[in-house]
Structures are given as structure tokens and as C-alpha cells.
Amino acid sequence: MGREAYLRDRAQFEDKYSFGCTSSADCVQFNMVNACEGCYSAVAVRAAVDSFVQNLGSVAKMDCMSCPAPVMQPCASGVVECFDNRCVLGIPLPVPR
């Protein structure tokens, strides 16, 4: 238990719930706040977001119930894309002038 277990579980959920897109329209970015890391930003296949949030929230509650409160930081943002059947958070490119 603890933060290390949470991070391991989070990586598994990121892998599971980001797979299966066929276009960038299938992907969505979402933010959640939990006991392990404050604001967490993720990308997933649109149809899987509710499962991702529910499962990660349960894991965070279990793994981090005795952890100190996390430092709140702004959530990441970027361009959500489908790359090789996986939703990814890309870095926005500067607009040419």
C-alpha cells in the first residue's frame, strides 16, 4: 500500500483505458482530485472515462488513506490525440506567425 502501489496501479489504468481509439475524436482529457496526488490529469477513450475515474478513485482511497495530504498543483493540459490506437496527451504546438 501507499503511494508506490498507487502509482503502479495508475500506470496500469492509464495503459488499459487509453487503448482502443481509432481517431482523436474518440479520446478525452479529464482531471480528478484524489488523496494520493491532488489534481491528476489523464487521457482515455471517451467510453472508458467513468470506469477509469471510479477505479482510480477507489485505489487512491485504499492506497493513500494514511498518506499526508498531497500538494495541490495545476493539472496538465494539452492536445489529446489518438496515436497508434492509444489516446495520448500531446504538447500544443506554437501557432506560426
At 50, which helix (H) or strand (E)?
Answer: helix 49-63
Domain-embedded: residue 52: yes
Q: For residue 26, tell me if it sits in a domain.
A: yes
Number of domains present in the structure of the chain? 1
Rounded CA-CA distance 1/81 in Å is 33
- Of residues 95 and 81, more confidently modeled: 81
Residue 72 domain-assigned? yes
Those residues whose C-beta lies under 8 Å from the C-beta of residue 72, and which sit 6 or more positions away, are: 33, 38, 39
> Would residue 95 count as lying in a domain?
no
d(CA 73, CA 37): 9
Average pLDDT over residues 71-84: 85
> Does the pTM of the predicted model rise above 0.85?
no
pLDDT, tens digit, 9 for 90 and up, residues 25-65? 999 999 988 888 888 889 999 999 999 999 999 999 999 88
What value does the mean pLDDT of the chain take? 88
For residue 46, the enclosing domain spans 3-90
> Nine-digit cell at 27?
479520446
pLDDT of residue 96: 58
